[in-house]
Amino acid sequence: MYPLDINRIACIGAGFVGGPLGAVIASKCSSVQVTVVDKDPARIHAWNSESLPLHELQLAEIISDIREHAEKSTECVKSRLIFSTDIQTAVQKAQLIFLCIDTPTRTSGPGSGFAPDLGNLKRAIEAIARTATDDKILVAKSTVPSGTSQVIRMLFEQHCRPDVKCEVLSNPEFLSEGTAIHDLLYPNRVVIGSQQTVSGKDAARKLAGVYQAWVPPSRIIFTDSLSAELGKLAANAMLAQRVSNINTLGTICEATGARIESVSQICGLDPRIGPHMLKASLGWGGGCFQKDILSLVNATRKLGLDQIASYWESVVWMNEHHKLNFQKRLVSCMGGSIKGRSITVLGFAFKKGTSDTKNSPAISLIRGLLACQAQVIIYDPMVPAKQIITDLHLTPGELERTTISHSPYSACSGANAVVVATDWDNFLCELSRNDEAQPLNWEHILKVMQEPKFIFDGRNILDCDFIRKLGGRYVRVGSPSEWDQLPVASL
Ligand code: UGA
């Protein structure tokens, strides 16, 4: 057991990690006051309003429970969770500061296209160091290259008062978007990397004391910072590689007649392999996999390990190839040209449960369809139209051929083909009904579509027989279809 010595925490960055993390700590540690700060006033305003800046299951409930509880209680509980732009006050009060700042891939300068941009993180550390009037524990949550904790420590020491000290911990976040609250409440591991000194280990125990309010001690792993940082990049690289593995096998199945679900099941039931991240799709996306693999590639290349860098880089290229392959298959099934054809894309988020669109496979698919002169209609239940337009970077000509629809039924009306690009539960057929979701009425969709009524299932979530009975030409990833131009071969 580790004592809970911390009662004032700040989270710097109110994004996908900082907001949910702050809310979960405030809900689980009643003696801790959490302040989540961000320099963007609009984002903080949203956190303080009824409509939160991001959609995550259970997040709104957790925050409203904390607020409701605060309204009913005495002044000490009133401010257990604060969202604010006042970084100075938050830093001065906090004993422990979580750094939850985004580190996107650099678009210019050294390492451009590969290395993460640590600019925002560095500016935040300088600001924290200049503001701090007493010792701090800084906890790096952002995914960063191995060795960054050391850089954070040096930066802090350069800018802080001579009597102020800091310990830097690496505590990478493993939550997935869409299940963030569940992942925070029931993590399969909490990794705490520290300097292997007395004060470093002491800081690590203090952080463990916070987590221990809801995480079993057996799930808390103590290690050095280098390993913690590398471990996070490695986990994402391996997960992305698994999805790419199954997707390459899916393409083999399309050419041979083998069934990808069976292949996944055969592999996944081996406990040494396990069943997760083996669902074939039109490609993986999100803000983390690509960024983290490229960061690993950059760091590996800097070590002079070129072959190892190329090995990991090929996971990213394989995903690009796979996304293109999906698009080519669609065109080929539709007779080799989709010029002037009306194609509806259902789903724009990179996966279900989130409104995040970063590196969504839908983006490159839609860009490809437009490049082939198709008319594209897009529907997503969560992603705002403005976001879709921003992500697509359309030319005026492409914009004219693009429609964003607010209803799946009007989106599919008159379509020659419908592509399921995101695995939203409400896209499911009635036959594979999931109790919580309101399934789409595919009977109606097939009625309002135009011939040849292709349904390309990029997530394998629809019921093949059902769609075919309704008159749809159903094509899914990882299984051959009679419209494929490829001959069925045996390997
Ligand atoms: C990923 C990791 O799973 C988290 O552990 C990690 O903390 C996070 O990155 C991060 O670094 O912040 P996330 O990007 O939210 O989480 O999404 P995943 O659920 O991993 O999915 C990534 C992509 O792979 C999605 O496009 C998803 O649809 C696709 N996918 C996933 C498949 O195509 N098949 C699968 O079987 C699983």
User: How would residue 29 be classed by pLDDT, with cut points 50, 70 and 90?
Assistant: very high
Rg (CA), the chain: 24
Whether the pLDDT of residue 370 is over 70: the answer is yes
Query: Which residue has the least CA distance to atom 34 on ligand 1?
Result: 279
CATH 3.40.50.1820 applies to domain 8-215: no
How does pLDDT run across 304-346, given as a tens digit for each residue? Answer: 999 999 999 999 999 999 999 999 999 999 999 999 999 999 9
Is 122 annotated as a binding-site member? Answer: no
Vertex 178: Cα angle to 402 and 176 (nearest 5):
115
Delimiting residues of CATH 3.40.50.720 domain(s) in the chain? 8-215, 237-476
Tokens (6 digits) for 28: 């689980």
Q: Which atom of ligand 1 is nearest to the CA of 351?
A: 28
The pLDDT of residue 430 is 65
Q: Which atom of ligand 1 is nearest to the CA of 247?
A: 33
Is 226 annotated as a binding-site member? Answer: no
Give the strand pairing for 473-476 and 454-457: parallel
The pLDDT of residue 300 is 97
User: How would residue 438 be classed by pLDDT, with cut points 50, 70 and 90?
Assistant: confident
CA of 489 to the centre of ligand 1 (A): 32
Is 43 annotated as a binding-site member? Answer: yes
CATH code reported for the domain at 237-476: 3.40.50.720
User: How would residue 434 be classed by pLDDT, with cut points 50, 70 and 90?
Assistant: low
Q: Which atom of ligand 1 is nearest to the CA of 359?
A: 26
Whether the pLDDT of residue 55 is over 90: the answer is no
Whether the pLDDT of residue 75 is over 70: the answer is no
The pLDDT > 70 percentage for the chain reads 96
Mean per-residue pLDDT over the chain, rounded: 94
Task: Give the residue from 359, 371, 369, 382 showing the smallest Cα distance to 454.
Answer: 369
How does pLDDT run across 406-423, given as a tens digit for each residue? Answer: 999 999 999 999 999 999
- Name the pTM for this structure: 0.94
Query: Which residue has the least CA distance to atom 24 on ligand 1?
Result: 284
CA of 327 to the centre of ligand 1 (A): 21
Q: Which among 11, 166, 288, 412 is annotated as catalytic? A: 288
Alpha-carbon span 195 to 140, nearest angstrom: 13
Is 358 annotated as a binding-site member? Answer: no
Whether the pLDDT of residue 432 is over 90: the answer is no
User: How would residue 40 be classed by pLDDT, with cut points 50, 70 and 90?
Assistant: very high
Residues in contact with ligand 1 by the CB-under-6-Å rule are 143, 173-177, 236, 239, 243, 277-279, 281, 284-286, 288-289, 350-351
Average pLDDT over residues 243-262: 96
User: How would residue 186 be classed by pLDDT, with cut points 50, 70 and 90?
Assistant: very high
CA of 162 to the centre of ligand 1 (A): 43
Query: Which residue has the least CA distance to atom 19 on ligand 1?
Result: 176
CA of 241 to the centre of ligand 1 (A): 11
In testing the pocket of ligand 1, which one of 184, 236, 282, 290 has its CB within 8 Å of the most ligand atoms? 236
User: How would residue 491 be classed by pLDDT, with cut points 50, 70 and 90?
Assistant: very low
Alpha-carbon span 102 to 141, nearest angstrom: 10
The pLDDT of residue 429 is 83
The pLDDT > 90 percentage for the chain reads 90
Contacts with 454 (C-beta within 8 Å, 6 or more apart), sequence order: 330, 333, 334, 416, 417, 418, 472, 473, 475, 483
Whether the pLDDT of residue 436 is over 70: the answer is no
Average pLDDT over residues 252-280: 97
Average pLDDT over residues 23-43: 96
Is 398 annotated as a binding-site member? Answer: no
Alpha-carbon span 249 to 232, nearest angstrom: 26
Is 166 assigned a catalytic role?
no
Whether the pLDDT of residue 122 is over 70: the answer is yes
Q: Which atom of ligand 1 is nearest to the CA of 279?
A: 36
Check residue 475 and give left, alpha or beta (phi > 0: left; psi -120 to 50: alpha).
beta
Q: Please state, as a whole number, how many other Cβ atoms lie within 10 Å of the Cβ of residue 295.
A: 25
The b-or-e profile of 424-436 (16+ CB within 10 A means b, else e) is: bbebbbeeeeeee
Query: Which residue has the least CA distance to atom 8 on ligand 1?
Result: 176
Alpha-carbon span 31 to 210, nearest angstrom: 10
Average pLDDT over residues 51-67: 91
CA of 323 to the centre of ligand 1 (A): 16
209 vs 436 pLDDT, higher one? 209
CA of 236 to the centre of ligand 1 (A): 8
The pLDDT of residue 70 is 73
Backbone angles phi, psi at 401, to 5 degrees: -95, 10
How does pLDDT run across 227-243, given as a tens digit for each residue? Answer: 999 999 999 999 999 99
The pLDDT of residue 79 is 75
Tokens (6 digits) for 392: 């697509």
Between 361-371 and 385-392, two packed helices, what is the crossing angle to 10 degrees? Answer: 60
User: How would residue 437 be classed by pLDDT, with cut points 50, 70 and 90?
Assistant: low
Is 174 annotated as a binding-site member? Answer: yes
Average pLDDT over residues 455-467: 96
